[in-house]
Structure 1
Amino acid sequence: MNKRQMSPIDQLLSGVDNALRTVAVKNGGPARANPARQVADTELSPAERRHAAGLMRVNHAGEVAAQALYQGHAAVARDPAVAAHMRQAADEERDHLHWCEERIGELDASVSRLSPLWYAGAFAIGAASGVLGDRWSLGFVAETERQVAEHLGNHLEQLPATDLRSRAIVQQMRDEEIEHGAEAEQRGAADLPPAVRRMMQMTAKIMKRTAYRL
């Protein structure tokens, strides 16, 4: 039996519900086990803990934005199959959100205080790019995931070598971001203009520098 296609009101309510679950409400735990569940915690110096916490806070902020991007794309997708794909990817990314938050708590730190801003901005960008059509929406996802995977690879180099728990989480996230990008390409993602890619990189740099501290 086919599921009823979501009406604009349904999509709006779904977006509001997801926003609340992402930035305001602790909604249980992740659907999948934390990749660090069987990794022993190690002793870190105060400086290493602060640095690891800052990096994981950046990763958490990125996952807040990813939730919003996927929901923004889904809200305006023309093809119900594309909308369903976006929501499924958002569900998988929500696990990343929980894993990062758990690790940040273990490091005695807090998530970014600007999470509502990250969500609102990313949702607007996702919806605006999605209006151009599903191919462009998928292209935006593919490029976003490429940049995120590269960023997570850099974090694997920057994290303290002994912070095995953070490293396990980031490695799993990186592998799945690569998969999401490949899936978007397989569904017909358009190649974004170089100027758009550069703008995305500049925006991501601002968010990373801010979320590391706030």
Structure 2
Amino acid sequence: MRHYSTIDRCIQSLDQAVRSLVPGATTAHRTNPAQDAESKLSIHEARHVAGLMRVNHSGEVCAQALYHGQALTAKLPNVRREMEHAAIEEQDHLAWCEERLKELESIPSLLNPLWYGVSFAMGAIAGAAGDKYSLGFVAETERQVSLHLEEHLEQLPKNDQRSRQILVQMNEDELQHRDTALEAGGVDLPKSVQVSMSVVSKLVTKISYYI
């Protein structure tokens, strides 16, 4: 197995950031779950769904940044591999959300570079704090993401099966990532950290819906 220097890993992190932020730079490894689904929306419904999908796209940008930051500072190789594997699956979510936004004639959040930077820093700090806390951070992040996805599933118009199929698959993956992190030794984070993460998540959600 090749051993990367600190400079190599920093360059890799920069490449990952560019791929996460530049539209069209990320390719899904799995088939889009909405491939055969239908969607008939009014103009008002399409605008609302675009807002929701923009929020979810920003959430996936944040997830990419969190995993990349944690992989950079994780101490154990197996934990680093878990972070990198989860980031690959999150790439699918990123590509699916971007594709749906294009179908809705909308664009990703203009503030994604900001969200990426903040999330990368949070992930790097969590990774440096120790692997059990890093894994606990993953578990808590995925739990909160799942809650947002469930809320969005309730808000989707009933005839928008394309968006629904994407969010359902995303939610299944997020819950799997949460369980994997806990099984690997993740611990519950302090309540104050959980609350702080929730506040940041809500801020991203409210702003990304419009911008």
Matched, 1:75 2:61: no
**2:27/2:91 contact within 8 Å kept:** no
1:32 and 1:13 map into 2 onto residues whose CA distance is 26
User: Displacement, 1:29?
Assistant: 2.6
RMSD: 1.0
Match of 1:157 in 2: 154
Q: How does 1:77-116 map to 2 (within 5 A)?
A: 77-116=74-113
Structure 2 gaps, min length 5:
none
Match of 1:126 in 2: 123
1:33-61 Cα distance to aligned partner (Å, 9 max, x none) = 10000112x32111100000000000000
Structure 1 gaps, min length 5:
none
2:20 and 2:127 map into 1 onto residues whose CA distance is 21
Match of 2:35 in 1: 37
Correspondent of 1:11 among 4, 9, 12:
9
Matched, 1:59 2:53: no
Residue type of the partner of 1:123?
Answer: F
User: Displacement, 1:25?
Assistant: 5.2
Matched residue count: 211
1:120 and 1:103 map into 2 onto residues whose CA distance is 24
**2:26/2:95 contact within 8 Å kept:** no
Correspondent of 2:45 among 48, 58, 67:
48
1:11-40 Cα distance to aligned partner (Å, 9 max, x none) = 111110000011025236311110000112
2:183 and 2:102 map into 1 onto residues whose CA distance is 37
Residue type of the partner of 2:204?
Answer: M
Percent identity of equivalent pairs: 49
TM-score (norm 1): 0.96
The SS at the match of 2:195 is helix
Match of 2:24 in 1: 26
1:164 and 1:197 map into 2 onto residues whose CA distance is 32
2:60 and 2:165 map into 1 onto residues whose CA distance is 16
Match of 1:192 in 2: 189
